[in-house]
Amino acid sequence: MNKTILFILLFGLITTSCVPIYEKNDSNHLLEANDVYSVIWNVTDISTENLLAGAPGRIIVVGNKNGSPLPSIFGLESATGEIIWQIDGESAGGALVEDDGVLYRGRSGFAEVIAYDTETGLLLWRTLLPAGHSVANIVVMADTVFAYTNNNLFFVLDKQGEILQVDYTTNISFFEMNGIVYDQNGLVFEAVDIASEQVVWQLELEGMISDSPIVENDKIFFNTDRIPNNIYSLNSSTGEVIWKVSQRTTSNILMLNDKIIFISNEDGGYLVTIDMSTGDEIARARFLPGFDTYENTYGYSIAGDAQNNIVAIAFGDNTQLMGLKVETP
């Protein structure tokens, strides 16, 4: 057997996935009165694993209901918070992304990508990623699914689950587009020509990229993990910084129509909205009571149903999911 392949197999077997565990409190949060969002539902018995996704008519959650020892995937009706479908027997951690009515779930442990119909929860396909260990991020673009595992394997699949390509890489690879691979090399975000292996452009960052970058037309959006966190908008072809804003983010960033929405851990916690084109702040609303995100920054996540202008929030300090209607779409 090839020594490189043997090393990858052994490394995949011995690598373990660690998910932080925090004690949840019993206090539910409110959102102060504002002109942008109104609270339309609360679900208070699902402890999330920091995995949340939005789809037309659905909010998808990976978590534990009523203290169950094993996680499940829940498909909630976005307008009411009612559980429409449930898939048991899930692993903690991993990655979650929705595209065109399909939920792509990257599992931790022995890496696997699984596709579900977001409306019904019906399993569409599942593909084991050979020698992979724990899917760290997933990006879906056009007809392609990109999955990177925490033992440095980068998989390219089609939307039917067939593996088209697999590479071992020392960088964190996110996606490929127009013959260019986009990855993070230390504190440098870079675009590398696949054929020539030459760097097209590089951008030095202040920290690691949190979650997976969001690609919208010719722009890339992402958030870095060092405080103060920086949210970037880049030109994908040139690496030019279109805008950059510093915020104390404690969640992923959500792109909802022409807005970017996230949770800030400043002064007890805010829901913050910025303009996708300019980075200018549009609105912020305080959570009541506040939460100590300086002590616990894990588990706060946000997702949206853009079709119905609904945002869902999972809090890291309790078992609450909050549904919000965007009043000024």
CA 65 to CA 72: how far, in whole Å? 8
How is 264-309 classified by DSSP, letter by letter?
E-GGG-EEEEEETTT--EEEEEEEES---TTT--SS-EEEEEGGGT
Banded model confidence at residue 272, pLDDT cuts 50, 70, 90: very high
Contact of 59 with 68, CB cutoff 8 Å: no
pLDDT digits (tens, 9 = 90+) for 41-68: 999 999 887 789 999 999 999 999 988 8
Tell me which residue has tokens 């899917």. Answer: 135
% of the chain exceeding 70 in pLDDT: 89
pLDDT digits (tens, 9 = 90+) for 305-328: 999 999 999 998 888 999 999 987
CA-CA-CA-CA torsion for 37, 321, 260, 192, nearest 10 degrees?
-170
How is 186-249 classified by DSSP, letter by letter?
TTEEEEEETTT--EEEEEE-SSPEEEEEEEETTEEEEEESSSSEEEEEEETTT--EEEEEEE-B
pLDDT at 19 over 60: no
